Structure 1
Amino acid sequence: MESLGAAADVLSIVSPTLRGVQHLRDDIGRIRGAPDAIRSLQDDLTTVTQALESFQALPDPQLQSLGSHVVSQSKFTLELCGQSCKKFRAALGRWTRNSSDGGLSWRDQAVLGLFKQGQMKSMSEQLHNCRSNLITVVTIASLSLQQKDVSSEIIATVSAKENEVTDAIALLERQMTDMNAKLELYAVRRRQHESEADRTEAVEQALLEQRALNGSHELLRYLLSGIQSAASSAQSAQAGAKVRFGDHNRGSQVGVNHGGLNNTFHTRD
């Protein structure tokens, strides 16, 4: 009962996170003449909204079947997504403070088009990783269905997910290396026309992204561990054996997902 309560607690965070994402998307939508970089954030926010809605639809037992570590890291992902949207929304208000009636002043156009490209890219990457994490959890949770027999289809599905998560972890590790380099650069260099307040804001966003990357890495490592355990069980099981996924090899059995499993991860250039 306590474990199901933890899953319910995580799912209860989805609604406020969803509202934060939608508020930011609406704010961007009201800006006329916004640069392409910030317009693309609207698309990112839309895909995160869809991922949040899918995550919200997960039954508590399915989420909990992935184990307490996954539940905890999913909560961390949701909380950071909400924080990032809140901070970026506040920053966007400052960046467009010279504009009115939805139109951008030339000064704010320059700020968004020239000086805030890095922060917009950082926000886009945070949204992308949030979406990928949520979709991965939803997809793998959908495999946690009661199955009487272990079939070759189950083994193929679990193996495919193992490969996807392994690739995603490798991508995250490259992003973490890049983020460390970015933070080191912030420590020694201030960009031209950048005030101390601007620099502090950029560093805070980078640190938030770093926390999100570390959290994503932990979440995917736990998922990979569970997938590998399930794959090993599936390959050695005889007909009628149970394949389990969860803490200490407890939880629902791994089954077959009849939904799409493609394009869970997308590498950004």
Structure 2
Amino acid sequence: MADWKGRANIALHETLRRLPTGVVSLIGAGLGDLSGRGRGGARRERTATTLARFGTARHPAAASRRWCRQLGRTLAELATLDRLWAEGRIEVLGAEHLDSGDRPLLVAAVHTGNWEVVGLTLAGLGRVPAAIYAPPHNAVAHALVVTARRRYGVRLIAPTPMAAREALRTLEARLQPLLVYVDEWKHGRVHAPALGRPLRAEGNIATVVRLAARTGALVVPAIPERLSGARFRLRFLPGLAMPPEQPLMVGIARLDAAIEPEVRRLMTQWLMAYVWPLQDRS
């Protein structure tokens, strides 16, 4: 059964690559809606709980359905990811903040909108990144994601015990930006933003601050947003310096303060909305 599903996913991906980008996104929205009504019902309910908790939607149940459609679009758009920049579908704001002078550049992104456009946009701007990533549990999904990302040239750093050392070498070499998503789900916790919880010196957000303090890198938050259909806006926020003498928790608080308002604003597009309620059970 698992092999059959894997072959079906590969066939769907290859079929979608032959279709216009807007059509692919629309198909993804439909598939996301269907998933939310079937086995994904629990995920949809948890998302509604998150949206209700943070007061980001007047009708959380309807908003969670939009969230499912948004996720479906993002997954389907992997098939056409390498076309989004060439087709002019990504509006960029704050690109000037990527000018780090003689400092290394560390881009701290979040999983909103189609988060895959961050690396793609950096490449389109002539700053092909290296990126630390967490592989999907499904081997076929992992292969499809890696293939989609490598089409635009990103260098992927697998999340092994050596990842931090490789990231450090990347920044010290100053040959390319390092891209890290700071709102990852790991060990039963979404590590950033805090959203009312006490800050912790854990997760990618702490890793970013430590790397920046050690290498002098400028930390630039990146906020992707879906505008409509397969059209996006990517905002680069003003860079944050992390001097080595600054306490770790101060740096974490500064970066958290930069991304939290954006995640709250885009909660219905935030991937981690569906796992947030699971933290209450851990």
TM-score, normalised with respect to structure 1? 0.26
TM-score, normalised with respect to structure 2? 0.25
